[in-house]
Every structure is written in structure tokens, then in C-alpha cells.
Amino acid sequence: MGRFDKLPGIDGENTTRRNVLVGSGYTLGGLMILGAATGDPEDEVDGNGNGNENGDEEADTDGDGETGDDGADSDKDGSSDGNGEENGDDESDGDGDDESEDEESEPDADQPETQSFSGSGQTVEQDISIQGGLTVIDATHQGESNFQVSLEDDSEFGESFVNEIGDYEGQTAELVEEGEYLLDVNADGDWEIDIDQPRANSGDSLPQSLSDSVNRVYGPIEFTGTHVATGEHSGEGNFIVRALPQEGQFGELIFNEVGNFEGETSFNFGEVGWLAVEADGEFSVEIE
């Protein structure tokens, strides 16, 4: 019997309707197969076989099963560095310990600014402010007669720093009380004067070997207690050596000689200080 031959009890009309239905079934089946083959663009399955639905936003997989939207973006603030640590905006500074040490270090001592003056002949400068303590005058004079420099206030006695004749160049130091002073200069030539009030939290360690031929102030120096001083002087005038603190009214006299001298002595001074030397010839001082 042929595929479309009549079966018993089925007339031609029924046979024709069956043929139409069968044909429609094949057509519908073909469409379903075609639909399965092409798929819906909105329901695509990714190429990794993970069965993730992409939707409108595609899932960008990196082989670890993480999607691009939820993954770590190295360009964002919370980016991963590959070790599971987030970098963030605030990066760790490897110098943190050094910064802490700098913050804990002792601040510099408060040192007043240098007050500078110059002139010719006798002059009085006003409004000289002294913080109190060690005060150093660095002066030069070009003349033939007296050159005298002092700080004067309302008290009966001022502070004399220089008393020389003729040309002069040198440094002298005194411990001066806090206050306002006049700078009194007696000279017959051109002169220059700097007034310093040195301050320091630390100084050069001992031993120290010092030498010159004019008045000098050396420091800061770290004095730590009992020390031995050796001195030499070639001259006709005074040879005076003192250890002076940066604050207070009293220093330590080490040498007080006249003329040529050679010798040694001990002294006690236990703080940061300056060494003031007055001489009228070549000298050398060693402190141990």
C-alpha cells in the first residue's frame, strides 16, 4: 500500500485533511528546529559552557568564572594587585617609620636674628633687643685710635665687649641680661658690628684643638663634665679663656694669664657651650 493510499473507512475528504495536517506538522517541526539552531540573541549561551545568560550586558569571563562587571578592575580604586590585596587610593608609604622618627626628633633651638650695624666714628645705635644669655659681638675697625664697643642700659654699668687701639678684627662674648640696650661705639674710623645670640641643642664633641691670633668665640661644643685644657700664648697682653653657657649669668674661667704662657689646667663644665678666647698674639687651646 502506498503512503497516501486510502485506508478502509476513510474517504477522500478525510484523507486530504490528514495530508494537510501532516504537512503542517512537518512545517511546524522545521520551524522549531530552525529556531533551536538560530536561538534567541537575548538567550545566548556563552562559549565556555557555563550556561550563563548574557542578557543585554555580556558576561566577560576570564577563565576563573568571574564576570567582568563584578571582577576587580585594575584601573579602579579597589583594584587587585594579583595577590588578593586591594590597592585603594591610599597607598602605604614605606617611609612611615622615618617620618615618625623625624616627628620625634628634637626641634632646632630658637636663635634670635643677627643684628648688624656699620658706621664711621662715634655712634650710638638704639633699640638693641637682647633675649638674655650668651651674646657675641663680631666687630672690625679701621683706624688709629681707640675702638670701644659696649651695650648700655639703665643700670650703672654696661657690658663692655671691645677696648682696643687701632685696627681690629675679632669676636668677643658676654652673658647679658634680657632687655633693651644701646649700642655705644667709640671709634675714629670705619667699623662694622654684628650682634649674635647663638643657641643650639647639641654641639661638636671633644677633643677640640683651636688656634688663632685674634679674639675668637668657638662653639657650640658638647662639654660633659670634668675636662683638661692645655693652652699656649705668645703675646704681651691678656690671655683669657672661658667656657660660657647659652643661658644664665655664670661661665667657667679656664685661663687668665698675661704675656707669654704655656700650661694646662682642669675645669668642670657639663652642658652645650661656647669657648671664648681673648688674646693679643698667637695662641692654641686643646680641650679633652
157 — pLDDT class (breaks 50, 70, 90): confident
Q: What is the mean pLDDT of residues 174-202?
A: 97
Predicted confidence (pLDDT) at residue 28 exceeds the cutoff of 80: no
Report the chain's mean pLDDT, rounded to a whole number.
77
Is 151 a member of any domain? yes
Give the pLDDT confidence score for residue 283 in this predicted structure: 98
Co-location of 230 and 265 in the same domain: yes
Number of domains in the chain: 3
Record the pTM. Answer: 0.64
C-alpha distances in Å from residue 60, one per residue of 25, 47, 50, 132: 40, 11, 12, 77
Is the distance from CB of 275 to CB of 217 less than 8 angstroms?
Answer: yes
User: Residue 40 pLDDT > 50, yes or no?
Assistant: no
Same domain, 237 and 191: no
Selection from 148, 51, 163 nearest residue 59 by Cα: 51
Tell how many helices (H) and how many strands (E) occur in the chain. 2, 16
Q: Domain of 171?
A: 115-196
pLDDT in tens, 52-86: 444 444 434 444 444 444 444 444 444 444 444 44
Section 87-93 average pLDDT = 47
User: For residue 273, what is the domain's CATH number?
Assistant: 2.60.120
Higher pLDDT, 157 or 100: 157
What CATH number is attached to the domain comprising 147?
A: 2.60.120.380
Do 183 and 215 have their domain in common? no
User: pLDDT tier at 109 (50, 70, 90 boundaries)?
Assistant: confident
Assess contact for 182 and 125: CB atoms under 8 A: yes
Are both 162 and 185 inside the same structural domain? yes
Q: Average pLDDT of 174-198?
A: 97
pLDDT of amino acid 154: 87
Average pLDDT over residues 94-102: 48
